[in-house]
Amino acid sequence: MLRCDRDDAMSKGDAMKKTVIAGAFLFLYFTAASAPAASFDCAKAQSKVEQLVCDNPKLSELDGKLGQDYQAVLSKANAEQKQRVVAEQKHWLQHTRDVCETETCLKHAYWSRQAALQTWFEPRSPLYKHESDKAEAIKQVLATAPLYKLTHSDPKFCGQVFDDLKQMKGIRLVDPVVQVQSYEDPALDPWKKQCQTAPPFNVRLFCGRNIEATGADVEICHAGYGLPPFKLYELPPAGASGEKRHIFYADDAYGPMNSDHRKPELGGGPAGFWQVHISKCLSAAGNGWGPGQEEVSSWARMGVFADAGQVERNSKDYNSIFEYKNQYYFLVLHANRGSYWLFIEPTEQPTERRKFTCSWSPVKS
């Protein structure tokens, strides 16, 4: 299982040398080699990260493969797209890869960026200046899509919130504090810098038993990496901790990146809403999902409904957090196979979520 070793943590004062990222060097760095070797000349390795890559065959292979993926994107991109991907790559070098001091950190850095490059041209859900900008579209879907009761923990509440959503009555769609179309967008830096040596926010582990791949009945955990758009929500404190809650959202996932038995694919991992304990990301509070992350909604995951080949990347999803009667809820309005599924759950602790879980499907029970 991929975990960020707690001994891997470094103090913020021990900043590493940054790799030169001028345009000419960037071109040389990512000139891909056909053999599974680093994409740069290891005889000229200078930084600690470069030396770690050159001394580790797996990291060298990942570096060489990433160079190939980078060049493949550049070869297909138009002028505006090239500017974006070069800027993302420079940022990844300086702020993601080169802050690593361990093999585990570097693997996450390479896999996360590899997932981004291999899906760079995939359709993406749009971003809205304000979440309220999609209120009319949500109302239209709810008024026209066939939606039938699936699970209602509290039928009265679920019926009322559905009716109010159809009119946007008493509903406030919450704006994220940051929303981006790339994990390497500088807008995420203030939060990522607090967890620099932990796994990225967008990594998700999904585990299961696999006899065929290993010849033994053992649990295998695969790493999937979230795809944009990414959103980070900041909600008021809940419970006795008094700390603000941070919810990270990924629209889809790609993976697994750490498996020799499965090729990565869209839908290769869970996506949706996850709570990120930013203030504890380097403590022992993590549970293996990432920097102190935990799943906060049993329904709010794209991968619940379909395997990778069935996810409709061209369809529009209207997934949000909304405030209703002084409470915060997850809204998952997800399109799959031409139909919509609707799920609503409180963002609070599990006991509260179980009380007010509501779900609708496009097929009658």
Distant-in-sequence, close-in-space partners of 242: CB < 8 Å, separation ≥ 6? none
The residue among 14, 12, 21, 62 whose CA lies nearest residue 196 is: 12
Residue whose structure tokens are 């996506």: 271
Residue whose structure tokens are 């679920």: 158
The angle, 0 to 180 degrees and rounded to 10, between the axes of the packed helices 57-76 and 103-118 is: 20
Distant-in-sequence, close-in-space partners of 112: CB < 8 Å, separation ≥ 6? 96, 183, 200, 202, 203, 225
Q: First CA to last CA across the chain, in angstroms?
A: 38
Within 172-312, residue ranges assigned H as helices are: 189-192, 211-214
Q: Could you give the 3-state DSSP secondary structure of residue 212?
A: helix
What per-residue confidence (pLDDT) applies to 239? Answer: 67
Residue 11 to residues 14, 16, 191, 195: CA-CA distances in angstroms? 6, 11, 16, 11
What per-residue confidence (pLDDT) applies to 162? Answer: 97
Rounded-to-integer distance, Cα 26 and Cα 28, Å: 5
Q: Could you give the 3-state DSSP secondary structure of residue 67?
A: helix
What per-residue confidence (pLDDT) applies to 275? Answer: 83
Within 77-153, residue ranges assigned H as helices are: 79-91, 103-118, 135-144
pLDDT in tens, 211-266: 455 556 677 788 899 999 999 999 998 766 677 888 999 988 999 998 887 899 98
pTM of the entire structure? 0.80
Residue 21 to residues 13, 105, 190: CA-CA distances in angstroms? 22, 20, 21
- Quick check: 188 and 232 in contact, CB under 8 A? yes
- Quick check: 303 and 270 in contact, CB under 8 A? yes
CA angle 187, 193, 194 (to 5 degrees): 120
Instruction: Give the side-chain half-sphere CA count within 13 A for 253.
Output: 28
What per-residue confidence (pLDDT) applies to 212? Answer: 53
**Gyration radius of the chain over CA positions:** 21
Distant-in-sequence, close-in-space partners of 27: CB < 8 Å, separation ≥ 6? none
Positions in the chain short of pLDDT 50: 1-35, 211, 282-292, 298-311, 314
Q: How many residues does the chain have?
A: 365
Buried-exposed string 330-343: b where 16+ CB fall within 10 A, e elsewhere:
bbbbbbbeebbbbb
What per-residue confidence (pLDDT) applies to 10? Answer: 32
What per-residue confidence (pLDDT) applies to 18? Answer: 37
